[in-house]
Homo-oligomer: A and B are copies of this chain.
C-alpha cells in the first residue's frame, strides 16, 4: 500500500540564521554559498562572532518533505534527533507540517541535535556551517522499512554520505526501496559534498537513482565537466532522469531523449536562498508523484523555490497548494 507520495531520509537540523556581510565570511574563512561541516569549537567561535539569530527547523531533505506536505502531498521522514530542546523543536515542526515522522530521539547524555549556523549576506546568499551532532547516528533498525515501502518515491539526501553510519543508512534505505519496487530520488546536496564522494556518487547514480537533483555546480563537479552543456550531455547518458537547477536561469530536466528548460518563477526580492534547491525538489517530486508531466513538475519546483527565497528560512510560509492553484498548476 502506498500511503505516502514521498518518504525521505536525511539530517535533522535546526537552523540558526543570522545576517552578516561578505567581510565577515572572509574574516572567518568561510566559502560563500557552500555548506561546511564544522566541529563544536568552530560553531562556538562563529556563533560568538555573529549577530543575533533566529532559530527554525531545517535540514535539506526535511525541508523538501515539508514542501511536499505543503503542496498537499503525503510525506514521511526518517532522521535522528537527540532528546533536547532543538530536537523537540525539529520534531514538533515537521509533525505540525503534516509529515509522518516517527524516528525516536536518542537517549539524552550523548551528542546534541544537529544545527546549522546559516549566515545570510545582503545579496540573499546563504553560507552554512553545520554541526551534525547526533544526526548521522541513525541505526539500521531505525531505517523504517514499512515507511519506505509505503512511499511512491524515496528521497535521499547526499549529505548523508559524509558520515559512515549515515551513509550505511542511506544505502540500506535505497535497497529497501528498490526491493519494494519504489522509485529512488537523490540530491547531490552541495558541490563540496560531491568533491568528497565523487566516485561513490557516480556509481550510485548509475546503479540506483531514478530521479537525480543537482544544481549546476554540483552536476559539473560530479562529472568534472568543462561546462554546463558538457555536464548535461554526460548526465543524459548516466542518469535516468535529472532535474538540474540553475538559480535565476531556472532549471533543466534531462532525460535520455529530451532536455526540457523550465523558467524560474518571478521573485520580487531574493531575501535568503536557503532551501531553494530543497523546495524545487519538493515541487518536482510532488508533481511526479501526482502523475504530472515533467514540465508541470518542474514549474511546481520553480514556484516552491521562488516562495522560499522570498523570506528568511528554508520552509514555506504559505500553503504551496494554494500558490500552485493560483498559478494554474494544480
Residue numbers of A with Cβ under 8 A of B are 16, 47-48, 50-57, 66, 84-86, 89, 92-93, 96-97, 112-113, 313, 315
Contact = CB atoms under 8 A, between A and B. Distances in A.
A100 to B, nearest CB: 15
B85 A52 contact: no
A93 B53 contact: yes
A47 B84 CA distance: 15
Contacts of A96: 50-53
A320 to B, nearest CB: 14
Contacts of A92: 47-48, 52-53
A97 B19 CA distance: 13
B52 A93 contact: yes
Nearest to A87: B85
Given A47-B92, A92-B47, A52 B84 contact: no
A271 to B, nearest CB: 12
A92 B113 CA distance: 18
A113 B55 CA distance: 15
A74 to B, nearest CB: 17
A273 B57 CA distance: 23
Q: How many copies does the complex hold?
A: 2
B52 A97 contact: yes
Contacts of A53: 89, 92-93, 96
Contact of A112 (B16, B47, B85, B86): B85
Given A52-B97, A84-B84, 14 more contacts: A16-B89, A47-B92, A48-B92, A51-B97, A52-B57, A52-B92, A53-B96, A54-B54, A54-B56, A54-B313, A55-B55, A55-B56, A55-B89, A85-B85
Contacts of A48: 92
Nearest to A86: B85
A157 B67 CA distance: 41
A228 B86 CA distance: 44
A250 B168 CA distance: 61
A47 B51 CA distance: 28
A85 B14 CA distance: 11
Nearest to A52: B93
A16 to B, nearest CB: 8
A41 B54 CA distance: 25
A84 B92 CA distance: 18
B55 A54 contact: yes
Contacts of A52: 57, 66, 92-93, 96-97, 315
29 contacts: A16-B89, A47-B92, A48-B92, A50-B96, A51-B96, A51-B97, A52-B66, A52-B92, A52-B93, A52-B96, A52-B97, A52-B315, A53-B89, A53-B92, A53-B93, A53-B96, A54-B54, A54-B55, A54-B56, A54-B313, A55-B55, A55-B56, A55-B89, A84-B84, A84-B85, A85-B85, A85-B86, A85-B112, A85-B113
The 10 closest A-B pairs by CB, nearest first: A55-B55, A52-B93, A85-B85, A52-B96, A54-B56, A51-B96, A85-B86, A52-B97, A47-B92, A84-B85
Contacts of A89: 16, 53, 55
